[in-house]
Amino acid sequence: MFSQTAALGGLDIQLCYYRGFGEFEASPWLSSADTLLQRMTSVSCRGGYTQIEKVLRQAIEQTKQKKVQALVFVGDCMEEDVDRLCHLAGELGMLGVPAFLFHEGEEPTAQRAFKEIARLTRGACCAFDATSAGQLRDLLSAVAVYAAGGHKALQDFSNNRGEVVRRLTRQLRRD
């Protein structure tokens, strides 16, 4: 992601994650791939319900301080009140922050919720499976290019990528 955006002015990322019983963490804004990788590899999974609401609230709060160009969420399920999440997604949409939701697997409740959050924020929702690390890498790189350089940069990037990136790019064209 960082190498794809270097020529576009770079990229700052805030890593957020939830796990266990109510645990939610948000890193400072990071501009180093090594630092991000170190933080990401130190995260471990713990059982508990999803806390997508906290992720959306964090994006809203951060955008009110300094404009966030995009929210990326990678998940496999959704166990929250979809109307509450959609309300927050609507707020993000009004703030001009597109959400990109990457859905692992085929859980139907999550799939419907993620698509609606993407629609409300004018973002995109793409599915991937656990065996396609390359697809997820390409999707994350595409969002990084979009965040750093806008829609035109994403269109240029998607010309040389697989169908999953072109599908994400097409979703952003809708009015």
Whether 162 is in a domain gets the answer yes
Burial class (CB in 10 A: 0-12, 13-18, 19+), 77: middle
Could you report the per-residue pLDDT of 69-78, keeping only the tens digit for each?
999 999 999 9
Q: What is the pLDDT of residue 160?
A: 83
**Number of structural domains found in the chain:** 1
User: Which backbone phi and psi does 71 adopt, to 5 degrees?
Assistant: -110, 130
Q: What is the pLDDT of residue 2?
A: 46
CB atoms within 10 A of CB 78: 21
Could you report the per-residue pLDDT of 37-67, keeping only the tens digit for each?
888 889 999 999 999 999 999 999 999 999 9
Could you report the per-residue pLDDT of 124-150, keeping only the tens digit for each?
999 887 667 788 888 888 888 898 888
Q: What span, in angstroms and rounded, lies between the C-alpha atoms of 21 and 19? A: 7
Whether 16 is in a domain gets the answer no
Closest listed residue to residue 124, CA positions, set 161, 148, 151: 151
Whether 134 is in a domain gets the answer yes
Residue 90 vs residue 32, higher pLDDT: 90
Whether 123 is in a domain gets the answer yes
CB atoms within 10 A of CB 110: 23
Q: What is the pLDDT of residue 9?
A: 55
Whether 44 is in a domain gets the answer no
Looking up residue 61, the CATH number of its domain turns out to be 3.40.50
Nearest-Å Rg of the Cα atoms of the chain is: 15
How many CA atoms lie less than 13 Å away from 99 in the CB half-sphere?
33
Whether 147 is in a domain gets the answer yes
Whether 118 is in a domain gets the answer yes
- Containing structural domain, residue 84: 50-171
Q: Would the pTM of this model clear 0.85, i.e. be above it?
A: yes
Helices marked H in the chain: 2-5, 33-41, 52-65, 82-94, 108-121, 133-158, 163-171
Whether 40 is in a domain gets the answer no
Q: Rounded mean pLDDT of 106-123?
A: 96
pLDDT above 80 (res 15): yes
